[in-house]
Amino acid sequence: MERVVVVTGANSGIGLALCERLLCEDGQLRLCLACRNMQRAEAARSALLTSHPDARVDLLHLDVGSVQSVLAAAQEIKARYRRVDFLYLNAGIMPNPHVDIRAFFKGLFSRNVINMFSTAEGLLTQQDRLNADGLQEVFATNLFGHFILIRELEPLLCQADLTSHVVWTSSSNARRSAFSIQDIQHRNGVEPYSSSKYASDLLSLALNRHKNSQGLVSSVICPGLVMTNLTYGILPSFFWTLIMPIMYLIRIFTNTFTLTPHNGAEALHWLFLQKPESLDARAKYHSQTSGLGRNYTQPRQMDVDSETCEALFSKLLDLEKVVRRKLSEKQHPSSD
């Protein structure tokens, strides 16, 4: 049976590398690139078809930071496909990153260098803003838009006698200390990226608790430290070029420095080969690359608890109702 795979943020970086690896694994699958920038999506599709001429690669316009775009994309997916076997939630943003340069150089030549690069703890902040829906942009893009997409696609993801797999691209920067259940959008903090990624860890566990019985399994991965457009937005590219030899040296001592999108997509690809029912709902699956360049996947227990994940799930459902009502009022204004 033909498998349908939808990948958000598929036009570059880890998302595109995943698509390439999936087509190498199964040339018969139906691959849908769900992207905000359709020009770049078309270029990605052309690149994939160059190496896989017989592949079935579809394009879909999706801006996960816009509820209206998510709803329209979900309708299009339901019109095209009878089911979705894999939904890779890879799209994400880190706007206006600010690096504490003094802390960076202090950490670069200390025994804490590996943890600094792995988690960016105490090093990296961002400046968030409201989007057109009145939501914090990072929260909306990295978490809430994907949540709405899952909700809309439940008829295709939750089917009798079939199992679908939702996979979140999280981060080692996902830290409990950056998240507050009283401020799930992180309106009052300076680490919205870390908060949104920790929230995706929580939400994955909640989805498993609520949807496993309906055939939906959710997993979380960490790609490691990868050089992508997101990374290059933190510091100038020439700076990364200067310190790249140091990073390859550090990889001898830690395997979290995957560095390339191909390596970073290892855990995403590995999950494609597993039976979803056999996976650990509380594990985050980490892409790892050894000093000799061997890729493998390592599960590690997430720092999450059932009470907080249920509270987040409830708050997201409540917010969904509010956002849908506002969208409906906007589209159908009262004549009073």
Catalytic residue list: 193
Task: Tell me, yes or no, if the pTM score tops 0.75.
Answer: yes
pLDDT of residue 88: 98
Q: Which fold has domain 4-331?
A: Rossmann fold (3.40.50)
Tokens of 147: 């949540």
Tokens of 182: 């009283």
Whole-number Å distance between alpha carbons of 288 and 255 = 5
pLDDT of residue 95: 80
Best CA proximity match to 226, nearest among 266, 263, 275: 263
Domain residue spans of the chain: 4-331
CA 261 to chain centre: 14
pLDDT of residue 122: 62
Tokens of 191: 């680490």
Walking along the chain (336 residues) 10 residues at a time, the average pLDDT comes out as 93 96 95 97 97 97 98 98 97 79 64 62 77 96 98 95 96 91 95 95 98 97 82 68 74 77 96 96 95 91 97 98 91 68
Q: Is the dihedral of CA 60, 64, 66, 72 positive or negative?
A: positive
Tokens of 99: 């690096």
Best CA proximity match to 119, nearest among 13, 191, 219, 202: 191
287 three-class SS: strand
pLDDT of residue 76: 98
Distances from the Cα of 275 to the Cαs of 164, 252, 270, in angstroms? 10, 32, 10
